[in-house]
A and B are shown apart, each in its own frame.
Chain A
């Protein structure tokens, strides 16, 4: 059974940093692109980042987070990370880790999400 479990969310002050983690199991982690998607409570979905299969593989970002967020993965531990710096109030959202399909980056499995609140 595929499982994705996010952790690391919480309350942080504007300008602060936070590192989200996603532990993956139930599939061959090294074979799949991994995505991060966020959602402001009550609002729509926003894709924010993806990383290709190899540790240190190609990474992609939404303009809204480029230069502030960094995605990485550790294939030896089946984990993906999102380092978030220079956080702003509009980064407040539930952050989902999602596994891509083998053939394209659409997401077929999602974690339960972790809430990040940026507030003073």
Chain B
């Protein structure tokens, strides 16, 4: 199975600043990588698929990049509602696997 890692585990950022989240796969997954956002008490929401394609309704401040085994989610200017948890997921191989998550909190 492909193991996903995310760094950092927690990220302190001030509102309006940029946040950069990393995701690494134990082997190449091509561009078959998704990012999800999860707010407390809610189901996850798909942000990005295909490593860089924003899902329907996702604001332009969310940008995904990377391919192969190294990926990045950039949030260009953090809004109050962005201080939550983020997960990456590879879907190149079965079983699908998630990273352990990054918690973005207010500095």
Contact = CB atoms under 8 A, between A and B. Distances in A.
A46 B98 CA distance: 6
B43 A62 contact: no
Given A47-B98, A62-B95, A107 B46 contact: yes
Interface of B: 1, 32, 34, 36, 38, 43-46, 49-50, 55-56, 87, 89, 91, 94-101
A35 B97 CA distance: 12
24 contacts: A37-B44, A44-B98, A44-B101, A45-B36, A45-B38, A45-B44, A45-B87, A45-B101, A47-B89, A47-B98, A60-B94, A63-B1, A98-B43, A104-B49, A104-B91, A106-B34, A106-B49, A107-B34, A107-B36, A107-B46, A108-B49, A111-B43, A112-B43, A113-B43
Interface string A33-76: 00101000000111100100000000011110000000000000
The binding surface of chain B is classed by DSSP as loop
A58 B49 CA distance: 23
Interface size for chain A: under 10, 10 to 19, 20 to 34, or 35 or more residues?
A: 20 to 34
B98 A104 contact: no
Nearest to B99: A44
A61 B99 CA distance: 17
